[in-house]
């Protein structure tokens, strides 16, 4: 079944493999009249581009987007927007070895279980390169939301045992780890150096805060905003946990502490606290959205690992090549993109939810 | 937009409010020929029924299911299965007060924001009573999976600060908190008594382990098994975090530790560890599925809380009535039901994924 | 797969068999704040009720709707609306015979082919009784559209060789055949009497004209308004052809004749002719929608027919019992309901199609 | 809302405008392991290519397909298949005139009504060029069906008043009008010459017969096979009527005539007649599928026409340029493609419909 389509109204359809001709996405259902340029998209693709610092894979890719349809005279036309990013990296690598066996921690075995065989070159469809389509589509969603005053603050919250303690937004773009805390970024870098020396890799956590989200987004009981955000974030390779608001901490909290009291600020509803992370009953409450994704360490490590192959034999493998010791900093823009895609879809959905809105449009 | 429908092939459509005539569900897309009886469904509804012990709301409901269609001579016919559970509880309560103001921690304000008004009686559609439709549908999914040898072990893992340390499955049904650890259950009960004395409530955590899941379920990149599980669990009211396998612990883990080495057990693929929780690249790998949901404390507490009302005035409120001091034990069957619904859908989806399967059916 | 769900935003889920406990529908995605009463629905159910005249099955059914959820204080709440119509007819009939063989012209064989067995009592899910759910849901759609000034004129256009020549709308409700032409109704009645004497049945045609539809409904290239109308009408049992505007006549027409020239009427776009039936490029153009469904003769006839049975033996059968000699007049309200359901869905969809509309709602 | 996506399991997402960079499609949900080459697709694209004879637009396009993903070592991998066909035709044309006014019979006005503005160059998204994506995707569906012994016979049945009387399949590819009757083709050609002299255009009809379809495809009551075929065919620009089996003729038929008696042929179910067109109760019955689409005359004619413009002024227009005097012969492959897409989707859906099938896959 089609697994690469997402959304109910604002729908995307991504495609592409790591070592095929390219990757891309079709965005269908984008409202007409949104001003958008190639640069609006490229800026986000650049945020996830590999090879920008020593904590990321050295694979060189331009990741330049081409827009093939759906935009005319600088604005979306309401018809499908097709975008392609051609793969340009050299493919000198010999994949004949990993073709036959199943790498631990990777999707080799599960793809073979499902489909009978797989494009084994560089992970094929299960490569992180697949996320380019998400980011290109997400860039359009971010632009649309931005035009309504909705703004994203997404960053690395933790790398291995190193968590941020300060929050200085401007710092985020100043360090290669996308942490809003210079000191934590330094400590995290030191930790990563150790990992790299040991040919090991590190996990981490991304946090996303969204300001300016109107109340009313999300459709109980299954299309709740938090439900769709959880799906969108968990669909990112390597994400193993998703939290909204206080997340895991609610386990040990109590009702009196956890409830957020309301008040009125300049006549507008506000809350003294935001344990709920901006969502109540699956619907946005007008306060900041707060969400986090826990990301597992890159499975590509250079240790000897035990596995089996297509011929049904066990073997020890030692996978060569240098890989990302951490993908968390590059995942920041992916988390943001997925969040934006869910928000735009919920924003459009909410327009259709009341006779009052219908009358605003049809009279 | 329709928010109460779930699934791609095995679809459900739930309906009903806390104080309306009843709640129910239509299951559409259930394969024909599944043997199922009213009792198969009732047994799961009884697991979530209120008023069974002192840690649950005293509201009395029979929660008796009636099957209106889709089953003939003891087997599903392939046509929609409609089930209704009539509300029988007395409705002597006066709701005129909460009609006007917004309870902190509840969905009152967000429903009004979205729809303009709400059925304020007992939470209306945002009541936990909504989950009855999920459980009735889930019971069918569980029966189907069971016929293929797929078995569920779902239980309370933590209540407030009390976590299980032993795992004795048979114990789970022996204590009112559904904990597989008698000692932890005792400690948790003591903790809840304190909460109740303080008119407060507690959060907790549910864990679900599924054995016998075949490899191959889940469709990258958006219909991944873990993505849909995350959505399904997060859609349950009060869930604020979802974990797969090692979940949050991957943040501080490393690749060498986190990768699960493969071996062959009686010629079948197996893993020495299961950090991945049975899912790699969004597809089941044949080992146990492991997932957890963090559940916030019931927002109905008796403390004085600050809020505002429909007239735009701030006020202090003190909500009366006795409520569940904890919903975690009753949520166990809801988590299991949602997991089963996602699994059946993925199981059916996977049938259509290869020419090899097509040939098994059409020749 | 779920086959009994329809719609993208305004979704319905119908259920029920001819001789089960009842039939019904869940409407999910209906905007909040629509005033609706039980009578608004009953009035349309009464239009399709059997046994009202000699040209319809003598089966007696009250077809009384019960609303179980989604409506509070006389208005829709935005949550799912569940409606049930219990079957009340006596079931003295013995179905042991048709259980084993496949009636020509019926769905007996195809249901068995697909599902392996079937509820053979009175056609089960393939009975015309299934359309009750469509009409109950359609009644809500009609009410919503009516509040925006959109009005339906649906009637029998032809019965066997007898076609209408006059159009007097008020006459439609005056004759049992729902024809807007008294003389044609008389001729058709005479033709039906002949059919009945010969234990035979007749086909016919329903036409639906919708006035007041705003321009802009329908989403190219697959969710075009005419495409979804064709699906909705063809999904009605017995419909074998669907036409929009000039329909079949376009085959022999030419471009110069077929194009509808535009002009301005009181400053509003208008057309001198309406060959297109109100749809251009799959989008409504603001003129009247015109559509027609061709309905095959009821397959239940009393002639000797040849067929085979579940044991793989050929046999001659002579099916007893009196049935509708024509279903066209009762199908009128079903065609109207399906049209209304498609229109509401397209109306909601269109709200999300431009930044201009987004700004009308979110600022 | 996304209007350019089709299908439930085998899904396609088309994109592209007449005068943009290209057109294309993403096919998602195609089963893995299907052998497919670029040539398998190109052969069908060539069937709709313009400029091949004097009855088609002289626009020159290579319409060469490029496959960007989803196929590895000659077989589908189960991941999305992205195909692009770049536009190569010169764009010397000046569109400044039609930018401002609304051509009768075209979608100019309706696109502006919906989206506020449009890509006016060559019809933009409403151009017939949009069907290239359908044909590229359809080619994959046809290949899959062919591997199961399902074969298509699609042809021009009528052009204007000229209908076929003979049926000689091999003749179909011998004349530029794709008619299986040489004499009718000659007469139709003569009729078209007249149309062309008068700067006029002609309508016509396409018929599609599908042999080898297994019984059981289609999911009542809304995902019926005929319902989805009607939608798919009506979604093709210019189609104004769709018929299944006897189609319009059922209006004047009777039950005794219209029912198809069954018999057994070599132990297999067969029918003496096929008035139903291979579908009973919305499910395929194993006999030939028969469907027809009525296609309106091309709206691009050179007569003086009356219309209005974006400034709200009426005017007379005389549209220049030579266009297709008929699109019916080129629509043949589009009708076939849409039919194939619906059939593959129904074929996959049907695999999930019974416990018997589930057991065939999972044990």
pLDDT tens-digit readout, B177-232: 999 999 999 999 999 999 999 999 999 999 999 999 999 999 999 999 999 999 99
Here the tokens at position D209 are: 């017969």
* Nearest residue to C20 (alpha-carbon basis) of C120, C109, C135: C120
- Number of continuous H segments (helices) and E segments (strands) in chain B: 8, 18
DSSP structural state of residue D296: P
- For residue C34, the chain A residues in CB contact (below 8 A) are 355
- Under the banding of pLDDT at 50, 70 and 90, the label for residue B322 is low
∠ CA D153-D157-D159, rounded to 5°: 145
Q: What is the pLDDT at residue D59? A: 73
Q: What is the pLDDT at residue C49? A: 87
CB contact under 8 A, C160 and D240: no
Q: What is the pLDDT at residue A334? A: 98
* Nearest residue to A301 (alpha-carbon basis) of A18, A94, A104, A158: A104
- For residue A250, the chain B residues in CB contact (below 8 A) are 203, 240-241, 294-297
The answer to whether A204 and A259 have CB atoms below 8 angstroms apart is no
- For residue C33, the chain A residues in CB contact (below 8 A) are 354-356
CB contact under 8 A, C264 and D308: yes
Instruction: Give the containing element (helix H, strand E) for A334.
Output: helix A328-351
CB contact under 8 A, C82 and B24: yes
CB contact under 8 A, C160 and D276: no
- For residue C110, the chain B residues in CB contact (below 8 A) are none
DSSP structural state of residue C126: G
By Cβ distance, the residue of B104, B202, B216 closest to A110 is B216
Measured in degrees and rounded to the nearest 5, phi and psi for residue A78 equal 95, -5
Q: Which residues of B lie closer than 8 Å to D, measured between beta carbons?
A: 8-9, 29, 31-34, 78-79, 144, 147-148, 214, 220, 347-358, 360-363
How far is B13 from B133, CA to CA, in rounded Å? 8
Chain C: nearest CA to D145, how far in angstroms? 18
Coil, strand, or helix at residue D108?
helix
* Nearest residue to B338 (alpha-carbon basis) of B109, B70, B14, B35: B14
In B, minimum Cα distance to C25 occurs at B26
- For residue D32, the chain A residues in CB contact (below 8 A) are 114-117
∠ CA C121-C123-C125, rounded to 5°: 105
* Nearest residue to D77 (alpha-carbon basis) of D30, D139, D44, D143: D30
Mean pLDDT, consecutive 10-residue stretches, chain C (363 aa), reads 95 96 98 98 94 78 94 97 90 74 96 93 91 98 98 98 97 96 98 95 98 98 98 98 98 97 96 98 98 96 94 92 85 98 98 97 92
- For residue D33, the chain A residues in CB contact (below 8 A) are 115-117
CB contact under 8 A, A360 and C355: no
Task: Tell me the pLDDT tens digit for each residue of D87-111.
Answer: 987 555 677 778 899 999 999 999 9
CB contact under 8 A, A147 and C355: yes
Fold topology of B5-362: Chorismate synthase, AroC fold (3.60.150)
- For residue B1, the chain C residues in CB contact (below 8 A) are 9, 11, 29, 348
CB contact under 8 A, D16 and A84: no
- Number of continuous H segments (helices) and E segments (strands) in chain C: 8, 18
Who's near B84: CB < 8 A, 6+ residues apart?
Answer: B22, B23, B24, B65, B66, B68, C68, C82, C84
* Nearest residue to C127 (alpha-carbon basis) of D253, B73, D281, D226: D281
Q: What is the pLDDT at residue B270? A: 97
Who's near D146: CB < 8 A, 6+ residues apart?
Answer: none
Q: What is the pLDDT at residue D121? A: 87
- Under the banding of pLDDT at 50, 70 and 90, the label for residue A90 is low
Residues of chain A with pLDDT > 70, as a percent, come to 98
CB contact under 8 A, C215 and D250: no
How far is B312 from B319, CA to CA, in rounded Å? 19
CB contact under 8 A, A26 and D23: no
DSSP structural state of residue B307: E
Q: Over chain A, what is the mean pLDDT?
A: 95
User: Is A93's pLDDT higher than 70?
Assistant: no
By Cβ distance, the residue of D104, D251, D298 closest to C262 is D104
CA dist A72 → A78, A144, D23 (Å): 10, 16, 15
The answer to whether C40 and C76 have CB atoms below 8 angstroms apart is no
Who's near B174: CB < 8 A, 6+ residues apart?
Answer: B182
How far is D159 from C253, CA to CA, in rounded Å? 10
Residues of chain D with pLDDT > 90, as a percent, come to 86
Here the tokens at position B67 are: 């099957």
CB contact under 8 A, B15 and C79: yes
CA dist C321 → A340, C92, C95, C307, D351 (Å): 61, 12, 12, 18, 36
User: Is D240's pLDDT higher than 70?
Assistant: yes
Strands (E), C68-199: 71-72, 75-76, 81-86, 151-159, 162-163
Interface chains of chain D (3 or more CB pairs under 8 Å): A, B, C
Here the tokens at position D361 are: 């896959």
Who's near A80: CB < 8 A, 6+ residues apart?
Answer: A26, A27, A28, A69, A70, D2, D4, D13, D14, D15, D16
Task: For tokens 């498609």, name the residue.
Answer: C342
By Cβ distance, the residue of A29, A77, A116 closest to D33 is A116
The answer to whether C160 and C202 have CB atoms below 8 angstroms apart is yes
Q: What is the pLDDT at residue D89? A: 75
pTM over 0.95: yes
Task: Tell me the pLDDT tens digit for each residue of B45-60.
Answer: 999 988 788 887 777 7
How far is B240 from B158, CA to CA, in rounded Å? 14
* Nearest residue to B232 (alpha-carbon basis) of C94, A228, A24, A305: A228
Who's near A220: CB < 8 A, 6+ residues apart?
Answer: A281, A282, A283, B3, B4, B107, B125, B126, B130, C79
- Under the banding of pLDDT at 50, 70 and 90, the label for residue A123 is confident
How far is B224 from C273, CA to CA, in rounded Å? 52
Here the tokens at position B234 are: 């997060």
How far is D349 from D360, CA to CA, in rounded Å? 15
∠ CA D217-D221-D225, rounded to 5°: 30
CB contact under 8 A, B2 and A283: no
Q: Over chain B, what is the mean pLDDT?
A: 95
CB contact under 8 A, D31 and B361: no
Task: Tell me the pLDDT tens digit for each residue of D175-218.
Answer: 999 999 999 999 999 999 999 999 999 999 999 999 999 999 99
CA dist A138 → A13, A40, A153, A248, B157 (Å): 12, 11, 14, 27, 37
Q: State the distance between the two ends of chain C, measured CA to CA, in whole angstroms.
A: 41
* Nearest residue to C139 (alpha-carbon basis) of C278, C34, C57: C34
Length of chain A: 363
* Nearest residue to D277 (alpha-carbon basis) of D251, D258, D257, D301: D258
User: Is B42's pLDDT higher than 90?
Assistant: yes
- For residue B114, the chain C residues in CB contact (below 8 A) are 32, 78
- Under the banding of pLDDT at 50, 70 and 90, the label for residue D363 is confident
Instruction: Give the containing element (helix H, strand E) for B47.
Output: helix B38-48
Who's near D153: CB < 8 A, 6+ residues apart?
Answer: D169, D208, D209, D210, D211
DSSP structural state of residue A106: S
- For residue D220, the chain B residues in CB contact (below 8 A) are 79
How far is A177 from A191, CA to CA, in rounded Å? 12
CB contact under 8 A, C32 and A354: yes
By Cβ distance, the residue of B28, B114, B118 closest to C13 is B28
- For residue D297, the chain C residues in CB contact (below 8 A) are 250, 253-255, 257-258
CA dist A216 → A278, A354, B115, B120, B269 (Å): 11, 11, 8, 17, 47
CB contact under 8 A, D358 and B78: no
Task: Tell me the pLDDT tens digit for each residue of D26-41.
Answer: 999 999 999 999 999 9
Beta bridge partners of D254: C202
Instruction: Say if the ipTM goes beyond 0.90.
Output: yes
How far is D25 from D14, CA to CA, in rounded Å? 4
Task: Tell me the pLDDT tens digit for each residue of A125-142.
Answer: 999 999 999 999 999 999
∠ CA B261-B267-B270, rounded to 5°: 30
- For residue B26, the chain A residues in CB contact (below 8 A) are none
Measured in degrees and rounded to the nearest 5, phi and psi for residue A361 equal -90, -40
CB contact under 8 A, C80 and B28: no
Q: How many contacts, defined by CB atoms under 8 Å, are there between A and C? A: 81
Task: For tokens 């549908």, name the residue.
Answer: B137
Chain A: nearest CA to D334, how far in angstroms? 20
Strand order of the sheet with strand A5-6?
A5-6, A11-16, A22-28, A81-86, A65-67
């Amino acid at each position: 079944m089609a697994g690469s389509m997402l959304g109910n109204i604002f729908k995307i359809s991504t495609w592409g493999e790591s070592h095929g001709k390219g990757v891309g996405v079709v965005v269908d259902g984008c409202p007409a009249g949104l001003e958008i340029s190639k640069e609006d998209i490229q800026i986000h693709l650049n945020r996830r581009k590999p090879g920008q610092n020593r904590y990321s894979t050295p694979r060189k890719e331009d990741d330049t987007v081409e827009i093939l349809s759906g935009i005319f005279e600088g604005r979306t036309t309401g018809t499908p927007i097709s975008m392609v990013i051609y793969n340009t990296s050299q493919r000198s690598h010999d994949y004949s070895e990993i073709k036959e066996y199943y790498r631990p921690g990777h999707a080799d075995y599960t793809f073979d279980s499902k489909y009978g065989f797989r494009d084994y070159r560089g992970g094929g469809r299960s490569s992180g390169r697949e996320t380019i389509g998400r980011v290109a589509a997400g860039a359009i969603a971010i632009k649309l939301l931005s035009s309504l005053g909705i703004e994203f603050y997404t960053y690395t919250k933790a790398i291995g045992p190193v968590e941020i303690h300060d929050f200085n937004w401007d710092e985020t773009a100043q360090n290669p780890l996308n942490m809003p805390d210079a000191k934590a970024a330094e400590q995290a870098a030191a930790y990563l150096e150790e990992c790299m020396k040991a040919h090991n890799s590190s996990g981490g956590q991304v946090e996303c805060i969204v300001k300016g989200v109107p109340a009313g987004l999300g459709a109980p009981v299954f299309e709740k905003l938090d439900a769709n955000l959880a799906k969108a974030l968990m669909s990112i390779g390597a994400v193993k946990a998703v939290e909204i608001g206080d997340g895991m901490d609610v386990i040990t909290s109590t009702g009196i502490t956890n409830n957020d009291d309301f008040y009125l600020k300049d006549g507008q509803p506000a809350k003294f606290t935001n344990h709920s992370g901006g969502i109540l009953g699956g619907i946005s409450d007008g306060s900041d959205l707060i969400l986090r994704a826990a990301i597992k360490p890159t499975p590509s490590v250079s240790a000897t690992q035990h596995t089996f192959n297509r011929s049904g034999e066990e073997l020890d493998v030692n996978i060569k090549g240098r890989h990302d010791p951490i993908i968390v900093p590059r995942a920041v823009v992916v988390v943001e993109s997925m969040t934006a895609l869910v928000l735009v879809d919920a924003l459009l959905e909410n327009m259709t939810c009341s006779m009052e809105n219908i009358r605003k449009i049809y009279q």
